[in-house]
Structure 1
Amino acid sequence: MPSSQALVAGLYAGGPELGVGSVQDGAVVQLCAVDGSPLVSLEAPLLVHVPGEAERLLGDGISAPPTPYWWTEMRASTAVAEAAPLAGSVAGRLTVLLGGTVWPPGVATTDVVETRAPEGAHPASGEAQLAVDVLTGSTAVVLADRPVIALNAWLSEVLRTVTAGGLALQIVTPPHVRLSLPLRSALTGAPNRWVVQDPNCGYYDGLSGAVLHWQDGTFTPVRDESGEASVAQAFTEATPTTERQLCVAFRVLHEQVTDDLVLGRALGAAWTALTGTAPAGWGTAEPINLSWSIGQLTDLARDRSPEPTHLLAVGHPGRPALATHRITRTGNGVAEDVTLTLGYSEDEQPPFDAIEPLARTLADEHGLVSMLASLRRARRDLTVPPHFEAPPIPLSFTLGAPDVRRVGLEHARRPPLDLRPAEFGSALHYPLGDGTDAQAWTVLQQLAEHLKVSPGN
């Protein structure tokens, strides 16, 4: 682990005139100009026990040491030209003392980098606390350029802070950048945006394709006289991939909340059923650093209760798999909401035959409320590119015993469709298709309407 002596040596990369501060309760150390503006932000080191995380986030060309290893990230301010070489010098000095690898290659030095204070020094603004690139009355803007933008601890804290303050988070990237699946999920829904800088149209939304412009301190869609937004050509012109993603989203409910309740077992059961192994690791941000442990996971959720706990899980190298896991207290007990996504090449067959047995296991042993399995054409590595990807197509839907009892078993087992559900005790599993016909969405919608009420209500 980087010692305080090594950290001091690294921070002297800018000479003794620069100041040092910290934010996020000491989790981020900042090397600051004389006016207090942050030049380089250095995250607290993270001990990574999970193999493959460096390669997943930085690319296969990275030379990562064997696990466990310490991971720390440095962010250079875009407001000062010398900030980037200063960050490289901090990193280079740390690796001289401690060993290790710096990414991207070639940026590490041990030079002393002279920085000049901006004209008319002034007290640091709110950007110093968030360490974002632009902060307006409505929006925090982060400029980023790396192969995969992940939901790391710093970005997760920025998102939490701006959300609590009623602000939007907008991440601006070049067109070659992709998002990790957890970050894509976190950014869902305006006013948060992924803004892609395009040489033809200027800017567009990397998730919806809407052409954007900067107006009143935020990126908003460009609209014509009728109020319609246009879609960037770069978003629609990409060739569809032949790779696929299998997504299984489910909720389980623990009605009996006792001191010996252990969480995460349903997620582990789903992972094993679909991949043959347990998850490799879990954590609260990327890189996912902790070896899989339902005991540690449960302890964290118990410590945070009654507030919800948001977790991530990742699979072993060679089988791309990621899950988001949300644990909440409800009026009926403790709920676990899981979305598990697995990636497959054109030559690999997703485990369709394992879905119904998984539904049975969750219903019989884990208090299943509902489960939706779907298939989509998307990247095997589970990253999100800034162009159109077809929406998922439902494969099956499972209704757990509590809702079957609410609806009525006879009513639930006879929808006005050509569906014959499999029965697991009082739970029902409805096959919807093979993932190739989008008409399955219409069938699912009709099934949902049928299951909303029981006869006579």
Structure 2
Amino acid sequence: MSAVLDVMTAQAMVVLQDRPVVALTPWLAAALEECAGSGRALQIVTSPSSRLSMPLKLAGPAAQWVVRDGDGYYEGLTGRPLRWDGGAFSPVPDARDYAPGYLTPPSGPLGAQLTLTYRARHTRHSVLGGQLERLFTMLTGRPPAGWGPAEPVAHPWQRSELTSHVRERGNAAVRLVVVGAGGGRSALAVAEFSQGGTLEVTTLTVGHPPADPPPVAHLPALVESLVAEHPVASLLAQLSPGRADATYEPRWTGAPAPLGMAVAGERPGPPGIPARPAGSGQTPMTWFELGDGRSPEGWRRHRELLRHLTS
């Protein structure tokens, strides 16, 4: 068993994890499913020296990271002070600042994490995983190593087997972890398929050490190369300071900010947001420049762009 069930209440399932990296193990994946069915929160308690894997970080609002720091507790991803109220860990009502442990320096040097989130439509006969395979190869030099519903992944990378797994579940939503094969860059993805595998929403994160910055200037060309064979409806690129191994510490390391967004079709953008073609032929795309990946001003442009596209 990879976790210890410490407390079960009507509000929460509390598990203790004492390990350097806490991942989305089969035990925790099953606990998340149980919590979703019962309306409980899954509260994972660790020490300040633990890190969270990218798939567990994206596990959804039902999963909460609670850090035990001395005699107090705080939320690992936000620094919000917490207390035990008898039924669950909840925010300290009169807290006006981050928990002190959240403001301590990172344990090692920070690089950058490039995160791409794309949406794609497939037919009932499509072989799934083409977009993921192409992006992994372009960004890490190698195709994915494997996939599975939890960490460590149980299956070597085979698009046909992944497709069968998704289709066997009918219209039920399927959430899968995809891992990279190394090559000097850590890469992990969380792929969500629904509607019988015809709708895909995937988030891919690639870690870059300080000496290997992300290929920000080449993103429009990357999108054009991707959609030439594997179309997407949209793709959002953002950058954040972070560990090159794509794990997360329970302390402040900097906020993510958008770089740009690609949208299917040839579309004009709102004033002040540069646009350029990022596709050709049967797969026209438009790339909108949103920022440098460092300024929160990019999120204002992102909201403005979404309003423009949906108006």
Fold agreement, TM-score > 0.5: yes
Q: Are positions 1:213 and 2:71 aligned together?
A: no
Aligned 8 A contact 1:148 1:180 in 2: yes
Q: How does 1:66-145 map to 2 (within 5 A)?
A: 132-145=5-18
Cα deviation code 1:50-88 (max 9, x no counterpart): xxxxxxxxxxxxxxxxxxxxxxx5x5x5xxxxxxxxxxx
Contact 1:241 1:377 (C-alpha < 8 Å) held by counterparts:
no
Determine whether 1:156 maps to 2:29. Answer: yes
Is the 1:328–1:336 contact (alpha carbons within 8 Å) kept by the matching residues of 2? Answer: yes
> Take 2:7 and 2:137, find their aligned partners in 1: how far apart are those partners?
44
2:186 paired residue among 314, 320, 324: 320
Provide the C-alpha distance between the structure 2 equivalents of 1:336 and 1:296, rounded to a whole number of angstroms: 16
Alignment of 1:227-242 (within 5 A): 230-238=97-105, 241-242=109-110
Unaligned runs of 5+ in 1: 1-40, 42-72, 78-131, 402-408
The alignment status of 1:444 with 2:302, answered yes or no, reads yes
| Counterpart AA for 1:392 | P
Contact map agreement 1:250 1:338 (CA 8 A) in 2: yes
Root-mean-square deviation over aligned CA pairs:
2.0
Q: Which has the higher helix share?
A: 1
Residues 274-293 of structure 1: matches in 2 within 5 Å?
Answer: 274-293=139-158
Secondary structure of 1:250's match? strand
Deviation, 1:214, is 0.8
Q: Distance in 2 between matches of 1:162 and 1:415?
A: 43
Cross-structure match for 2:92: 222
Summarize the Cα distance change of 1:352–1:430 in structure 2 as closer, same or farther, 3 Å threshold. Answer: same
For 2:164 and 2:104, the matched residues in 1 are separated by 47
Asked if the contact 2:21–2:50 (Cα under 8 Å) also holds between the matched residues in 1, the reply is yes
User: In the alignment, does 2:76 pair up with 1:197?
Assistant: no
Q: Which residue of 1 aligns with 2:209?
A: 345
Max radius of gyration: which structure? 1
Deviation at 1:452, TM superposition (A): 1.5
SS at match of 2:28: helix
2:290 paired with 1:417: no
Partners in 2 of 1:414 and 1:381 — Cα distance? Answer: 35
The equivalent position to 1:376 in structure 2, one of 240, 262, 276, is: 240
The 1-side partners of 2:259 and 2:248 are apart by: 22
Cα deviation 1:363-412 (Å, max 9, x = unaligned): 343331110111110111111111113221211100113xxxxxxx5xx3
The answer as to whether partners of 2:275 and 2:286 remain within 8 angstroms in 1 is no
Between Structure 1 and Structure 2, the one with more strand by share is 2
The one-letter amino acid of 1:436's match is R
Structure 1 equivalent of residue 224 of structure 2: 360
> For residue 183 of structure 1, what is the aligned residue in structure 2?
56
Structure 1 Cα separation of the partners of residues 217 and 85 of structure 2: 51
SS for the counterpart of 2:195 is strand
Q: Which residue in the other structure is 2:119 paired with? A: 251
- Describe the SS at the equivalent of 1:235: helix
Aligned residues of 1:282 and 1:311 also touching (Cα < 8 A): yes
Q: Which runs of 5+ in 2 are unaligned?
A: none
Cα distance in 2 for residues equivalent to 1:355 and 1:450: 22
Q: Is the 8 A contact 1:433 1:440 kept in 2?
A: yes
Moved more, 355-364 or 243-252: 355-364
**Normalised by the size of structure 1, how large is the TM-score?**
0.63
Residue 223 of structure 2: SS of its match in structure 1?
A: helix
Cα distance change of structure 1 residues 389 and 442 upon mapping to structure 2, 3 Å threshold: same
C-alpha spacing 1:215/1:229, structure 2 compared with 1 (3 Å): farther
Following the alignment from structure 2 to structure 1, what is the Cα–Cα distance between the partners of residues 21 and 278? 43
Work out the CA distance in 1 between the residues paired with 2:278 and 2:147: 33
What is the identity percentage for the equivalent residue pairs of Structure 1 and Structure 2?
Answer: 37
1:269 equivalent among 107, 110, 134: 134
The alignment status of 1:147 with 2:20, answered yes or no, reads yes
SS of the equivalent of 1:421 reads: strand
Code of the residue aligned with 1:421 in structure 2: it is R
Shift of 1:231: 1.9
**Does the Cα contact within 8 Å between 2:112 and 2:244 map onto a contact in 1?**
yes
* Number of matched pairs: 306
- SS at the partner of 2:233? strand
Within the candidate set 42, 45, 68, 1:169 is matched to: 42
Residues 278 and 285 in structure 2, CA contact (< 8 A), matched pair in contact too: yes
Q: CA deviation at 1:418?
A: 4.4
Counterpart-to-counterpart distance in 2, 1:379 and 1:211: 24
Contact 1:253 1:366 survives alignment (8 Å): no
Amino acid corresponding to residue 397 of structure 1 in structure 2: M
Please give the secondary structure, in 1, of the residue aligned with 2:309: helix
- Counterpart of 1:400, as a letter, is A
Aligned match of 1:433: 291
Question: What CA distance in whole angstroms lies between the structure 2 residues aligned with 1:446 and 1:355?
Answer: 21
